[in-house]
C-alpha cells in the first residue's frame, strides 16, 4: 500500500465560503473528480467520493507497534481482492466503507457491502457484496453486477455501499454510481431474492445528467415489521451535493420501481441520511445539517409510508474536531431502534467531552423523538486519543452496542488503531468498559486514501438475538504487492455480551 503525506483531514467538509473560480475549468473536458475538488470550498461531499488531493509517497516501512495484548475475539477476514485487474489508477488491495445487515427472518444470514479498489480521486472500481449463512463465521463474495464497467455496467465508479434486508429473504444493495469524464450520476439498487447470494441488475432510483448535480451519501432501510401496514416498503435516501437538499424515494413493489423523491430538508446544507423503521411502520430519518451558525444532527419522521415527512427537528449540536491525517465519520450520524420498546439511538463523533479530540457519543429517545437525552460519551479511552466513526445496533433482547475505532494504544503518534465495542445493558443509560474487537493493533497509514487515510466514513454493526456482529476495515494482512506494508480488508466479528 502507498502512504500519504498529510497536514490534516476530516470526513465532511463544512466550509461555507465560495469555491474556486470556474472559468478555467469550463474550458477543459468534464472531470467529476475535478468538479468535486473545485467545489469542496462551498459544497459538502462524503468521503466515498472525495479525491485524495495530495500525491501518495513511498512507504516508510513498519513501525514498532504499541498495543494491548492480542485480542481474544474472532476476526473473520471477509474480503479477498476479487476484482480483476489491471486497476489503472485504482489503489490495489483496498477495501473501504464497510456496512452490514442481518436477515430478520434468519439471524444467521448476514449481508455486507464495501468498496473494492478505491480510486485516489474518488469512488471505487467495484462494490462487493458478501453473505454469510452461519452467523458471520464464513463469507462468500461477489461483485455487484452491471453497475461499474468492471462488472459489465455503464459507470466508471461507484461508492457508498449500503445493504438492507426486507421480508421473505429479500436483500437490497444501494449505491451511487458516476463517471469521471461525463456528468451522469445516480442512485441505484440491486436486489436479491435469496438472502444476498446473488443480485439482479441495478434499478434506477434517481439519475442526474448535469454537471452541477451530484447525488451523494445515500442509504436505505426496508420495513420488515409483521404488523406494519407498510411491510416490504423500501426507503432510499440521499442528498444532492449541488443543492444540499435531502431526499427520500420509496418503492412499494419490492424494489421493482421507485417513486419520485420527496424533499425532507431544503434549508441549510445537508448530508448523511440514515433511517430506521419502527414495528408500527413509522420511518425515522437522521442526518447532518449546517444552517447558519448551527451544525447539528437533525431528524424527521414519516407515519404514512414515506408519502410525507414531518418538519425536521434537532437531536443535538455537533462539535466534531476531526482526526488529523484521517478522513473519518466526523459528524455523520448512525442510528438504531429497539424493535420491542421503540427506543431510538443516534451516535456520532464529537469533541465536547475532550476538547479538540473526538470521541463516540450517543443520544437516545424513549418517546418517538419528542425529546432526546443530552449527548453522552461512550468511548472510554484516554482523553488525548481520538475515537471515531461510531456505529450503533440493538440486539433483540434490548442490549445496545456502539462500535468505534480508537487510537488509545497510540495516543501520541496516532498512527495505530484498534476497533472497540461498548455495550449497554440498561437501554443506553450506562455502558460497560469497551471490549477490544480487533485481534491486533493496525496501522491506519496502510488504508485507502481519500484526502486522508480512509477506512470509511461509516462502518457496520448489527444485533442478532443476543450477539453483536461488528463489521469493520483493518490493515492486518501482509500486502502481496509490497511486503513492507499491510493491506486494508473487511473483517467481521461476533461479540456475545
Residue 497 lies in a domain: no
**Mean pLDDT of the 386-397 span:** 99
Confidence tier at 69 by pLDDT (50, 70, 90): low
- pLDDT given for residue 28 in this prediction: 82
How many CB atoms sit inside 10 A of residue 183's CB? 16
- pLDDT given for residue 44 in this prediction: 83
pLDDT, tens digit (0-9, with 9 covering 90-100), for 330-386: 999 999 999 999 999 999 999 999 999 999 999 999 999 999 999 999 999 999 999
Question: Using CA atoms, how far apart are residues 31 and 272, in angstroms rounded to an integer?
Answer: 24
Question: Using CA atoms, how far apart are residues 421 and 441, in angstroms rounded to an integer?
Answer: 15
pLDDT, tens digit (0-9, with 9 covering 90-100), for 421-446: 999 999 999 999 999 999 999 999 99
pLDDT exceeds cutoff 50 at 17? no
pLDDT exceeds cutoff 80 at 190? yes
370 or 52, greater pLDDT: 370
Q: Which pTM value belongs to this model?
A: 0.92
How many CB atoms sit inside 10 A of residue 474's CB? 29
C-alpha cell at 430: 450506562
pLDDT exceeds cutoff 70 at 9? no
Q: CA torsion sign, 136 to 198 to 186 to 157?
A: positive
Tell me the CATH number at 53.
2.120.10.10
Nearest CA to 471 among 63, 164, 196, 114?
A: 114
- pLDDT given for residue 2 in this prediction: 47
The chain-wide mean pLDDT, for the chain, equals 92
φ, ψ of residue 391 in degrees (nearest 5): -140, 155
**Count of structural domains within the chain:** 1
Question: Using CA atoms, how far apart are residues 306 and 284, in angstroms rounded to an integer?
Answer: 10
- Per the structure, the complete domain to which residue 355 belongs is given by 3-492
DSSP 485: S
Nearest CA to 489 among 11, 147, 128?
A: 128
% of the chain residues with pLDDT over 70 = 91
Nearest CA to 131 among 106, 112, 157, 158?
A: 112
**Rg value, the chain, Cα:** 20
How many CB atoms sit inside 10 A of residue 61's CB? 8
Cα distances from 61 to residues 57, 413, 450, 452, in angstroms, run: 12, 15, 21, 19
Task: Please list, residue by residue across 419-436, b when 16 or more beta carbons sit within 10 angstroms of its beta carbon and e when fewer do.
Answer: bbbbbbeebbeebeebbb
Question: Using CA atoms, how far apart are residues 384 and 324, in angstroms rounded to an integer?
Answer: 12
pLDDT, tens digit (0-9, with 9 covering 90-100), for 305-323: 999 999 999 999 999 999 9
Instruction: Specify the residue for cell string 446473488.
Output: 198
Residue 237 lies in a domain: yes
**Mean pLDDT of the 389-402 span:** 99
Using DSSP bridges, classify how beta strands 262-265 and 245-251 pair: parallel, antiparallel or unpaired: antiparallel
- pLDDT given for residue 63 in this prediction: 44
pLDDT exceeds cutoff 80 at 135? yes
24 or 32, greater pLDDT: 32
C-alpha cell at 428: 443506553
Q: Are 90 and 122 spatial neighbours (Cβ–Cβ below 8 Å)?
A: no
Cα distances from 278 to residues 200, 283, 335, in angstroms, run: 28, 6, 12
Confidence tier at 150 by pLDDT (50, 70, 90): very high
pLDDT, tens digit (0-9, with 9 covering 90-100), for 215-225: 999 999 999 99
Amino acid at each position: 500500500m502507498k502512504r500519504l503525506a498529510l497536514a490534516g483531514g476530516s470526513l465532511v467538509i463544512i466550509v461555507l465560503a465560495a469555491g474556486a473560480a470556474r472559468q478555467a475549468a469550463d474550458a477543459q473536458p468534464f472531470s467529476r473528480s475535478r468538479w468535486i475538488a473545485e467545489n469542496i470550498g462551498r459544497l459538502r461531499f462524503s468521503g466515498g467520493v472525495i479525491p485524495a488531493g495530495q500525491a501518495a509517497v513511498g512507504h516508510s516501512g513498519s513501525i514498532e507497534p504499541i498495543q494491548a495484548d492480542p485480542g481474544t475475539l474472532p476476526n473473520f477476514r471477509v474480503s479477498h481482492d476479487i476484482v480483476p485487474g489491471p486497476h489503472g489508477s485504482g489503489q490495489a488491495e483496498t477495501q473501504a466503507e464497510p456496512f452490514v445487515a442481518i436477515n430478520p427472518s434468519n439471524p444467521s444470514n448476514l449481508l455486507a457491502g464495501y468498496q473494492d479498489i478505491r480510486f485516489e480521486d474518488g469512488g471505487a472500481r467495484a462494490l462487493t457484496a458478501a453473505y454469510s449463512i452461519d452467523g458471520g463465521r464464513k463469507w462468500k463474495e461477489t461483485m455487484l453486477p452491471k453497475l461499474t464497467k468492471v462488472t459489465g455496467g455503464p459507470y466508471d465508479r461507484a461508492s457508498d455501499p449500503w445493504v438492507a434486508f426486507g421480508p421473505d429473504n429479500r436483500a437490497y444493495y444501494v449505491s451511487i454510481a458516476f463517471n469521471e469524464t461525463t456528468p451522469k450520476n445516480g442512485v441505484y439498487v440491486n436486489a436479491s431474492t435469496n438472502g444476498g447470494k446473488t443480485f439482479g441488475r441495478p434499478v434506477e432510483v434517481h439519475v442526474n445528467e448535469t454537471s452541477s448535480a451530484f447525488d451523494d451519501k445515500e442509504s436505505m432501510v426496508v420495513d420488515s415489521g409483521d404488523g406494519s401496514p407498510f411491510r416490504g416498503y423500501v426507503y432510499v435516501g440521499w442528498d444532492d451535493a449541488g443543492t444540499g437538499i435531502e431526499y427520500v424515494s420509496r418503492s412499494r413493489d419490492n424494489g421493482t420501481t421507485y417513486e419520485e423523491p420527496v424533499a425532507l430538508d431544503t434549508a441549510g446544507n445537508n448530508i448523511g441520511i440514515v433511517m430506521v423503521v419502527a414495528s408500527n411502520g413509522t420511518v425515522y430519518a437522521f442526518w447532518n445539517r449546517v444552517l447558519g451558525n448551527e451544525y447539528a444532527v437533525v431528524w424527521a419522521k414519516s407515519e404514512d409510508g414515506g408519502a410525507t415527512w414531518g418538519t425536521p427537528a434537532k437531536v443535538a449540536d455537533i462539535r466534531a474536531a476531526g482526526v488529523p491525517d484521517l478522513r473519518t465519520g466526523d459528524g455523520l450520524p448512525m442510528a438504531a431502534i429497539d424493535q420491542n420498546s421503540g427506543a431510538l439511538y443516534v451516535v456520532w463523533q464529537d469533541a465536547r467531552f475532550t476538547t479538540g479530540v473526538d470521541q463516540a457519543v450517543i443520544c437516545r429517545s424513549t418517546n418517538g423523538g419528542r425529546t432526546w437525552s443530552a449527548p453522552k460519551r461512550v468511548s472510554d479511552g484516554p482523553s488525548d486519543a481520538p475515537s471515531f466513526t461510531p456505529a450503533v445496533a440493538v440486539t433483540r433482547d434490548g442490549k445496545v452496542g456502539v462500535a468505534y475505532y480508537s487510537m488509545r494504544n497510540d495516543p501520541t503518534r496516532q498512527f495505530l488503531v484498534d476497533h472497540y465495542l461498548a455495550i449497554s445493558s440498561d437501554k443506553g443509560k450506562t455502558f460497560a468498559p469497551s471490549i477490544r474487537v480487533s485481534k491486533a493493533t493496525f496501522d491506519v497509514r496502510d488504508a485507502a486514501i481519500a484526502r486522508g487515510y480512509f477506512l470509511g466514513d461509516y462502518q457496520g454493526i448489527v444485533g442478532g438475538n443476543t450477539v453483536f456482529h461488528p463489521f469493520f476495515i483493518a490493515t492486518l494482512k501482509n500486502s502481496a504487492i509490497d511486503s513492507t506494508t499491510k493491506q486494508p480488508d473487511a473483517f467481521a466479528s461476533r461479540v456475545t455480551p
